[in-house]
Amino acid sequence: MTQLVQRAKIIVRTGAFNPWGNIVLHSIPDVPKWFEAPGLIVPEWYQSSVTKS
């Protein structure tokens, strides 16, 4: 966990002690770039999302 925290770009601390989150994090990855990594296999049903426009 410590290594993950050291590589983090942003850490959100809300101060809440409730068992549920009080924030929303929304991420939109660059899908074609993600699947350029060697060894990754794109499922057939996801091919249209990976195709560069």
Domain count of the fold of the chain: 1
Q: Copy the structure tokens of residue 1.
A: 């966990």
Domain for residue 31, yes or no? yes
Which domain, by its residues, includes 35?
Answer: 25-53
Query: H/E element holding 47?
Result: helix 47-50
Q: Print pLDDT tens along the chain (53 aa).
A: 677 777 777 777 777 777 676 677 777 777 777 778 888 888 888 878 777 65
7 — phi, psi (to 5°)?
-90, -5
Contact 34, 21 (CB under 8 A): no
Q: What is the pLDDT of residue 52?
A: 61
Domain for residue 32, yes or no? yes
Please tell me what DSSP assigns to residue 4. H
Domain for residue 7, yes or no? no
Domain for residue 53, yes or no? yes
Domain for residue 29, yes or no? yes
Domain for residue 9, yes or no? no
Tracing tokens 């959100």 back to the chain, one arrives at 12
Domain for residue 8, yes or no? no
